[in-house]
Amino acid sequence: MNISVSDEQPWVMSQLEERFLAKPPEGRREQTKARNRAAILAAAKAVFAEKGYEAATVRDIIRSTDLASGTFYNYFNSKEEIAAAIATDAAMRLRPILQEQREKYRDLESYLDGIMNAYFRFLIDEYAFKGTGRRRFMRPPTTQVATPAQRAVFEEIQLAVTQKLGAELASDADVEYITASVTGIARNVGLQMLYRKPQDPDHAARFAVGLILRGLAGLVARHPGSNASSRQDDDS
């Protein structure tokens, strides 16, 4: 959980400080608030991933916390709101990385590799947390067709395809379908990767990019174009 480690670090520190300081000086109030908010968010993320949005209850969330049920509503106005906050947060962490890739676009292959890598690493961060000792994987979300993260990927790719690739593609190229395909691959390969024992985002990204660019033809062993792309054979 690389992303959140940096966020949690200060928190752990302040926690230690508190123990050594007999009386919490001013400004602690603020920190406590931030800490509680973070704790609730983390708990909610875990619970939503574990049971899904509908099945998760606010009680589940606050029970994963040292706080009382009423406290939840000091930080979020509803179960819906915290879910939105989590989703937004995820998208907000992912999107700048994707944007960066698009802006420093050099060629399609490295662009795709960049965003696939970013997305797969994001997934690993997002759906894994340190449980009781060993790393346990949370069920990826089963409730939304497109998580905000997926939507971010979708939109970024759509932009990239439209902006950068337009000229190179046949004029009748179906940008929408291309985007749908690329995100479909990202989604499913990403899920598959999560279930593998040593999660290898690099390998997954390389696979995805190869397939997107060259199709199954690129995966054929010796004799490219033999059977895997028979229509081409017919054409010639």
Interface pick for DNA out of 15, 32, 143, 232 (rule CB under 7 A): 32
Q: What is the DSSP letter of 136?
A: E
Supply 43's token pair: 């708990």
> Which range in 1-9, 18-26, 133-141, 155-163 contacts DNA by CB under 7 A?
1-9
> C-beta of 5: minimal distance to a copy of itself in Å?
8
Distance in angstroms (rounded) separating the CA atoms of residues 25 and 229: 71
State how far the Cα of 162 lies from the Cα of 158, in Å rounded to an integer: 6
Nearest to 143 by CA among 9, 209, 49: 49
CB of 45 vs a copy of itself, minimal distance in Å:
16
**Parallel, antiparallel or unpaired: strands 135-137 and 128-130:** antiparallel
Q: Which of 14, 38, 50, 58 binds DNA (CB under 7 A)?
A: 58
- Cβ proximity to DNA, 77 vs 232, nearer residue: 77
Q: Which residues contact 54 (CB under 8 A, 6 or more apart)?
A: 143
Q: Angle, nearest 10°, between helix axes 108-126 and 201-214?
A: 140
Q: How far apart are CA 149 and CA 49, in angstroms?
A: 14
Could you say which of DNA, a copy of itself, none residue 69 binds, taking C-beta under 5 to 8 angstroms by partner kind? DNA
* C-beta of 78 vs 162, nearer to DNA: 78
**Rounded Cα–Cα distance for residues 43 and 49 (Å):** 10
In angstroms, what is the minimal distance from the CB of 33 to DNA?
A: 5
- Contact flag: residue 77 with DNA (CB under 7 A): yes
Could you say which of 1, 18, 79, 180 contacts DNA (CB under 7 A)? Answer: 79
* Partner interacting with residue 186 (select from a copy of itself, DNA, none; CB below 5-8 Å by kind): a copy of itself
Q: Which is nearer to a copy of itself, 103 or 227 (CB)?
A: 227
Which parts of this chain interact with DNA (CB under 7 A)?
Answer: 4, 7-8, 27-29, 32-33, 36, 56-60, 66-75, 77-80
